[in-house]
């Protein structure tokens, strides 16, 4: 039963990557990016407002940090994914997203003083090679000639933003209940994304796109984070993070069934290299400095 929580979160997030793609043509990226957080804020407020008031003495001195977390984790990461979906495939997005644990590990080494391990170094090389294979569609020569697809580049930036978010979350250790912190970040996203929403062209809500907004709000913005929090409490952060490695595989399978995306050999090779790199970085814990006599 304890494994049901991380698996539920991963399936929802994988499905949301496909929702990003289904939203193309049905609703503008700035619209769905704003509506999902607006609806989440409306639904959260009756339950969370009294908790925010009760924790205000702890919240007030951390407002700047909460704002930064909301911008990175909710506004930048989520919104860029919608824009990326207009230019790349859900399968590519899932594989690029699988770099997030490795990016977080690299930032922990740089900013939190975590020791560099042999696994982290080898894993970084393997994962980088895997993503290169995917974004080049299996032709590194074409990549050098034409550059990275704009959608893939957006997804890389989005993944990097969430990795920075995760690192800051660990570094700052805000002593707030997870739900209160999540709610406050949702409010930040609403405020930050409103100008983009106001200036963007609009499709308007209709029978075609309302289910997409509801999935993004109810499942991806509310149920999945709650399930992930439960998983962290029951399994611990390290064991829970391992489930993230399933994201590219589940995303590719859902995309193949729902979107009829064709899985090419470069997806398989790139996905396996990226996955192997992440697993190595988490499992191979020999400290590199000790081996070479530096630490």
**What's the burial of 293, exposed, middle or buried (CB within 10 Å: 0-12/13-18/19+)?**
exposed
Give the C-alpha separation, 74 to 222, whole Å.
12
Which domain range does residue 280 map to? 4-291
The per-residue pLDDT for 282 is 62
The per-residue pLDDT for 61 is 93
The per-residue pLDDT for 290 is 42
For the four alpha carbons of 124, 167, 187 and 13, in that order, the dihedral sign comes to: positive
Q: Residue 3: how many CB atoms within 10 A of its CB?
A: 13
For the four alpha carbons of 167, 168, 169 and 173, in that order, the dihedral sign comes to: positive
- Report the domain count for the chain: 1
The pTM for the full model equals 0.80
The per-residue pLDDT for 27 is 94
The per-residue pLDDT for 278 is 67
Per-residue confidence in pLDDT tens, the chain, 295 aa: 678 888 899 899 989 989 999 999 899 999 999 999 999 999 999 999 999 999 999 999 999 999 999 999 889 988 898 999 888 888 788 878 877 777 777 787 777 676 767 776 777 777 777 777 766 766 666 555 555 678 888 989 998 998 888 888 888 888 888 889 999 999 999 999 999 999 999 999 999 999 999 999 999 988 988 888 788 778 776 667 767 777 777 888 888 888 887 777 777 777 777 777 767 766 666 655 444 333 3
The per-residue pLDDT for 41 is 94
């Amino acid at each position: 039963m304890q494994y049901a929580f991380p698996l539920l979160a991963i399936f929802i997030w994988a499905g949301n990557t496909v929702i990003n793609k289904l939203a193309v043509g049905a609703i503008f990226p700035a619209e769905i990016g704003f509506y999902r957080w607006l609806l989440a804020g409306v639904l959260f407020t009756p339950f969370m407002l009294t908790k925010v008031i009760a924790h205000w003495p702890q919240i007030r001195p951390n407002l700047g940090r909460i704002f930064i977390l909301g911008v990175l984790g909710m506004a930048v990461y989520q919104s860029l994914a919608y824009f990326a979906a207009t230019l790349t495939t859900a399968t590519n997005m899932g594989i690029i997203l699988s770099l997030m644990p490795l990016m977080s590990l690299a930032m922990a080494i740089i900013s939190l003083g975590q020791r560099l391990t042999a696994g982290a170094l080898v894993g970084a090389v393997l994962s980088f090679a895997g993503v290169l294979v995917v974004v080049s569609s299996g032709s590194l020569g074409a990549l050098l000639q034409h550059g990275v697809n704009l959608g893939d580049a957006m997804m890389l930036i989005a993944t990097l933003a969430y990795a920075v978010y995760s690192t800051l979350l660990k570094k700052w250790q805000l002593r707030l209940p997870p739900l209160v912190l999540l709610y406050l970040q949702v409010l930040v996203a609403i405020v930050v994304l409103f100008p983009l929403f106001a200036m963007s062209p609009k499709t308007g809500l209709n029978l075609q796109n309302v289910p997409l907004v509801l999935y993004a709000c109810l499942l991806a913005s509310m149920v999945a984070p709650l399930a992930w929090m439960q998983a962290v409490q029951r399994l611990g952060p390290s064991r829970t993070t391992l489930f993230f490695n399933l994201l590219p595989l589940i995303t590719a399978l859902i995309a193949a069934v729902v979107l009829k995306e064709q899985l090419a050999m470069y997806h398989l090779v790139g996905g396996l290299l990226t996955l192997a790199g992440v697993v190595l970085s988490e499992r191979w814990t020999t400290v590199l400095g000790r081996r070479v006599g530096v630490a």
